[in-house]
């Protein structure tokens, strides 16, 4: 045994928004317990942000100030850098690169940075012999990167799935609870601070896709492949879809799924029907959840707050404590050089049971035409419901079909055939069903 | 950076029941991924069990054999010992002590051993400068010790609660689903292998109490205090209690709760009413769940398989991988010498809302006598329901009361007063309610 280092781990924090200020608060509030558990104190020595004067609810006087975040990397009194600037390029990337090049470990909450540049940055960290960690970037306060890279690391993981964006989960949960439409609930979420003024990044699925790409790399030993995530947002989900899903025992969630199949890696973020009574189906408000399925452990699920000052700070400081203990392993569970480029699963090989909603003109033979078009497309029907009149157009009736497991290209074929029928009154809707 | 050790970590396994055989299988099945993630191979070199000849579904020919488990500790080809013999004393304890004394790290699945002797063993491990880990002893495959000691280690934890015994959860879930009684469902659980021939250890709450004591030590920085866990089993729960709980929106679960209060540490395992729609209330079958509440992270919940060959092996090998990486921290999150002896919360200071069930003779004034007895005891009523005739005795009617938060000694006082009323037809039942 070498004598453990008991000197303080000296931290430079770049970015003093909610999260950066939260880290300062947490390190002060729980300093004693943190030192006891990490084996040494973890202490902020320097900070950087865009505006020095702003009141952040924390006293920054004890800390050195840098106008230029990148200069934190060069300071002699900074052993380790916390990057909470944000953005996949610009100062965040420059700072992380500079810190690693200077042989200083980095903790970041920046999922966009890791989703885009994780491979190069992980290699740089390993070349320098220091840690790069990003627990706070994925599912906020839930220690799921630790579960994947350490706690369940003995397993071959089959599937990672989860609700990774709290804004979308809030909107969909509210729509289901109140029967209100997407636009109205989004406006309310914005008013409550659960959604940004420009919500595209969240509701379009990009934020969840960033997180999924990072989880998949750690789970499957593959290089992070954000470009390989097929992403569809929640903007087109209607109150009618949610209501019909409820009738069938399902909830609609923005589900992120990464699955290793024989044909390659499937990574998808999309509105998905899941059993309403399941852990994911009943997930409330802005909570996140991740479900991991491994060959020996079976299924483990993790739920918790996906964002916010306290949860994000909790994850960042946990990474700092691992670094203080000298116990921080590779970002993606194994050395980055050993990660293989994932084959992407061919679109046409993806398969799932589907929920299909059609709007048919109320004419004799309409239902038969629909059923035969589905059969011709090779899609097998599990359940079918015809509702009373009340579609978007007068005289149109909604018909809902739940299929058996079907390849996506067969579903596309069925939808195209039915959209072309003269009894089709509106664009069909297809939503995948995931048993989870 | 020192050059990392890439030689195999050589394992001696004591105990070749389901779990020991599972570890052998897992280390073989996922050897490549384990080596990549741990930075070095993890390889079994020697084994020990009571009977050499028994077929365990794994080929033991490649491994050295010891009839006496304790001798594993002395072998030159064993770097690290896995103890899955079981039992809080005897060979398990002797082996763990011998291994630590020989400067060899130990991984155990033995909650009884750690609940009874965790403090002394953790001190012995730290004196020897080696790791002692027990992830597999708590909540099976769920990496909750890792979450407490690392992933959420930046937090001051307020409460740890969970369903830690799969047998009890199976029995209570089946009773709720089918309306059948305890004895009948227990017999079925025994037939299915979900309950032991002698089920006392599980259904009496001792197994869950062992696990809770370990979780509490890691959560609160207190010495493990198994004797301080107040334990009540599920044997006296009736189908009627479960049905009434359901009417009120609750499920009855064997809930383990450790909570740090101003007056001291409360550790309890007891049948508890929890909201039926909650994660704990809807927990199915033999699944375990742990809910951790911290000052910065808020609430995180973890669910997964609580026992079985694969999940337990998954947890053991994760500990081995941490040891292989040189990253295994203290068993209870901080050095054992720094753990303080917990003040036990005084019984009379415990408080919760309660479900009370009384059986009253159907006479004029009976309900008034009950209500006034409750009021005299200082207990405030939140809800009250009187059911039609159909109690255990002819002419008796069940009355159910849900109280506001009340100190346990007031509840005891109310129950005693009512049991003494001449209209009381049966022993009252009191079950705490936990909002979780």
Q: Measure CB to CB from residue B141 to each of A33, A221, A298 and give the nearest one.
A: A298
Q: Do A143 and B300 touch (CB under 8 A)?
A: yes
Contacts of A154 in chain B (CB under 8 A): 26, 30, 34, 313-314, 317-318, 321
| pLDDT at site B124 | 98
Q: Measure CB to CB from residue A334 to each of B36, B221, B299 and give the nearest one.
A: B36
Query: pLDDT tens digits for A385-419?
Result: 888 765 445 678 889 999 999 999 999 999 999 99
Nearest Cα residue in chain B from A310 = B296
Residue intervals of chain A classified under CATH 3.40.50.720 are: 9-137
Residue intervals of chain B classified under CATH 3.30.70.260 are: 350-433
- DSSP assignment of A69-82 equals GGGGGG-TT-SEEE
- If we measure between CA atoms, which residue out of B58, B48, B55 comes closest to residue B21? B58
Q: Is the pLDDT of residue B267 over 50?
A: yes
pLDDT band of residue B3 (cuts 50, 70, 90) is low
Q: Is the pLDDT of residue B188 over 60?
A: yes
Centroid of chain to Cα B180: 25
Q: Do A300 and B297 touch (CB under 8 A)?
A: no
CATH homologous superfamily for the domain B350-433 = ACT domain (3.30.70.260)
For testing contact with chain B, the best of A129, A154, A166 (most B CBs within 10 A): A154
Contact B300, B147 (CB under 8 A): yes
Architecture label for domain B144-305: 2-Layer Sandwich (3.30)
Query: pLDDT tens digits for B378-436?
Result: 999 999 988 876 544 567 888 999 999 999 999 999 999 999 999 999 889 999 999 88
- DSSP assignment of A137-203 equals GSSTTS-HHHIIIIITTTSPEEEEEEE--HHHHHHHHHHHHH---HHHHHHHHHHTTSS-SS-HHHH
- Integer Cα distance of B119 and A26 in angstroms: 29
Given its phi and psi angles, is residue B3 left (phi above 0), alpha (psi -120 to 50 degrees) or beta? Answer: beta
Beta-carbon contacts of A338 under 8 Å, excluding residues fewer than 6 positions away, are: A221, B36
Question: Has A211 been annotated as catalytic?
Answer: yes
Cα torsion A34, A40, A46, A52 to 10°: value is 10
Nearest Cα residue in chain A from B302 = A302
Looking at the complex, report in whole angstroms how far the Cα of residue A219 sits from the nearest Cα belonging to chain B.
11
For testing contact with chain B, the best of A37, A40, A127, A326 (most B CBs within 10 A): A37
Phi, psi angle pair for A379, to nearest 5° = -95, 135
Nearest Cα residue in chain B from A297 = B311
| B9-137 is classed CATH 3.40.50.300 | no
Contacts of A22 in chain B (CB under 8 A): 296
Residue intervals of chain A classified under CATH 3.30.360.10 are: 144-305
Query: pLDDT tens digits for B204-241?
Result: 999 999 999 999 999 999 999 999 999 999 999 999 99
Angle at A244 between CA A240 and CA A246, to 5 degrees: 120
Higher-pLDDT residue of B261 and A37 is A37
Q: Do A36 and B334 touch (CB under 8 A)?
A: yes
Query: pLDDT tens digits for A167-222?
Result: 999 999 999 999 999 999 999 999 988 898 899 999 999 999 999 999 999 999 99
Q: Do B147 and A143 touch (CB under 8 A)?
A: yes
| pLDDT at site B136 | 98
- Integer Cα distance of B132 and B137 in angstroms: 12
ipTM of the complex: 0.94
Q: Is the pLDDT of residue B315 over 50?
A: yes
Beta-carbon contacts of B394 under 8 Å, excluding residues fewer than 6 positions away, are: none
Q: Which CATH class is domain A349-433?
A: alpha beta
pLDDT band of residue A1 (cuts 50, 70, 90) is very low
pLDDT band of residue A349 (cuts 50, 70, 90) is confident
| pLDDT at site B389 | 63
Looking at the complex, report in whole angstroms how far the Cα of residue A324 sits from the nearest Cα belonging to chain B.
11
Looking at the complex, report in whole angstroms how far the Cα of residue B365 sits from the nearest Cα belonging to chain A.
44
User: How much is the CA Rg of chain B, to the nearest whole Å?
Assistant: 24
- Integer Cα distance of A144 and A311 in angstroms: 13
Q: Measure CB to CB from residue A321 to each of B37, B154, B303 and give the nearest one.
A: B154
Q: Is the pLDDT of residue A58 over 70?
A: yes
Q: Do A310 and B326 touch (CB under 8 A)?
A: no
In 3-state terms chain A splits into helix, strand, coil percentages (rounded to 5) of 40, 25, 35
Q: Do A153 and B298 touch (CB under 8 A)?
A: no
Beta-carbon neighbour count of residue A52 at 10 Å?
A: 12
What percent of chain A shows pLDDT beyond 90? Answer: 87
């Amino acid at each position: 045994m070498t004598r453990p280092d008991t000197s303080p781990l000296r931290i430079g924090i770049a970015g003093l928004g909610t999260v950066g200020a939260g880290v300062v608060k947490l390190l002060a509030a729980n300093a004693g317990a943190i030192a006891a558990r990490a084996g040494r104190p973890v202490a902020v020595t320097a900070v950087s942000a865009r505006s020095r004067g702003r009141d952040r609810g924390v006293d920054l006087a004890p800390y050195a100030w840098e106008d230029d975040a990148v200069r934190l990397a060069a300071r002699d009194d900074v052993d380790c850098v916390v990057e909470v600037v944000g953005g996949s390029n610009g100062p965040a990337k420059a700072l992380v690169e500079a810190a690693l090049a200077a042989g200083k470990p980095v903790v970041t909450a920046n999922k966009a940075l890791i989703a885009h540049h994780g491979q190069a940055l992980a290699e740089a960290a390993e070349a320098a012999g220091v840690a790069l960690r990003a627990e706070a970037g994925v599912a906020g306060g839930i220690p799921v990167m630790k579960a994947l890279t350490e706690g369940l690391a003995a397993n071959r993981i089959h599937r990672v799935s989860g609700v990774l964006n709290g804004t979308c989960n809030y909107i969909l949960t509210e729509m289901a609870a109140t029967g209100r439409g997407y636009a109205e609930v989004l406006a309310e979420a914005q008013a409550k601070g659960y959604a940004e003024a420009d919500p595209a990044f969240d509701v379009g699925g990009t934020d969840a896709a960033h997180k999924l790409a990072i989880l998949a790399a750690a789970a499957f030993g593959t290089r992070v492949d954000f470009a390989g995530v097929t992403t569809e947002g929640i903007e087109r989900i209607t109150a009618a879809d949610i209501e019909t899903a409820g009738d069938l025992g399902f909830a609609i969630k923005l589900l992120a799924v990464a699955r290793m199949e024989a044909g390659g890696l499937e990574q998808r973020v999309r509105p998905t029907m899941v059993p309403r009574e399941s852990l994911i189906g009943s997930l409330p408000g802005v909570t996140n959840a991740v479900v991991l399925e491994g060959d020996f452990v079976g299924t483990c699920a993790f739920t918790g707050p996906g964002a916010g000052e306290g949860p994000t700070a909790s994850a960042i400081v946990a990474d700092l404590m691992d670094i203080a203990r000298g116990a921080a392993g590779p970002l993606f569970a194994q050395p980055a050089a050993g990660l293989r480029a994932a084959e992407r699963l061919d679109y046409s090989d993806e398969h799932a049971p589907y929920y299909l909603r059609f709007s048919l003109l109320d004419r004799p033979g309409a239902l038969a035409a629909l059923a035969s078009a589905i059969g011709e497309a090779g899609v097998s029907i599990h359940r079918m419901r015809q509702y009373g009149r009340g579609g978007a157009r007068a005289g149109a009736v909604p018909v809902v079909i739940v299929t058996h497991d079907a390849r996506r290209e067969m579903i596309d074929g069925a939808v195209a055939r039915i959209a072309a029928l003269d009894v089709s009154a509106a664009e069909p809707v297809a939503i995948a069903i995931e048993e989870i």
